[in-house]
Amino acid sequence: MKIDRLYEKVGGSQTIKAIVENFYDRVLADPSLAPFFPQADMQALRAKQVMFINMLMGSSRTYGGGNLAAAHAGAREQGLNDEHFDALLGHFEAAFNELGVAEDYTREMMGLLETSRSAVLGR
């Protein structure tokens, strides 16, 4: 079977679950980002983020979470801006690196996450 989707190339849902786990541990340890997550049900959020990343990486599984612009309205009221977005992407990249994902795939993934900026920041 020809492996051409990023989802398979990085090792499928097991790798993505481990990346999202590592990522949120970093986000919650970051004093510039942690204040955005007090209300969030982190177990549910981790599960939704795994679905979202699976979808972004070309998995045939559907993303059952809500619209990104709407989901971040509360965070925007709290002052969410480009700096927070850049910091969060930095934690994604660190998590990909820590899980040993090849640099090319990590760079491709950062490009895909960047496409969420306008929805998350509501512009």
Applying CB under 6 A, the residues found at the interface with ligand HEM are 33, 36-37, 39-40, 45, 48-49, 52, 65-66, 68, 71-72, 74-75, 80, 84-85, 88, 113, 116, 120
The smaller minimum CB distance to ligand HEM, of residues 72 and 106, is found at 72
Contact (CB, 8 A) for 10 and 105: yes
Q: Which residues are CB-contacts of 27 (< 8 A; sequence separation ≥ 6)?
A: 33, 34, 37, 88, 91
Task: Please state the φ and ψ torsions of residue 63, each to the nearest 5 degrees.
Answer: -95, 115
DSSP label of 66: -
Shortest distance in whole angstroms from residue 80 CB to ligand HEM: 5
Q: How far is the CB of 70 from ligand HEM (least distance, A)?
A: 8
Q: Please state the closest distance from residue 23 (CB atom) to ligand HEM, in A.
A: 10
Closer residue to ligand HEM, CB minimum distance, 40 or 99 = 40
Task: Measure the CA–CA gap between 88 and 84, rounded to whole angstroms.
Answer: 6
Q: From CA 7, how far away is CA 34, in angstroms rounded?
A: 28
C-beta closer to ligand HEM: residue 15 or 50: 50
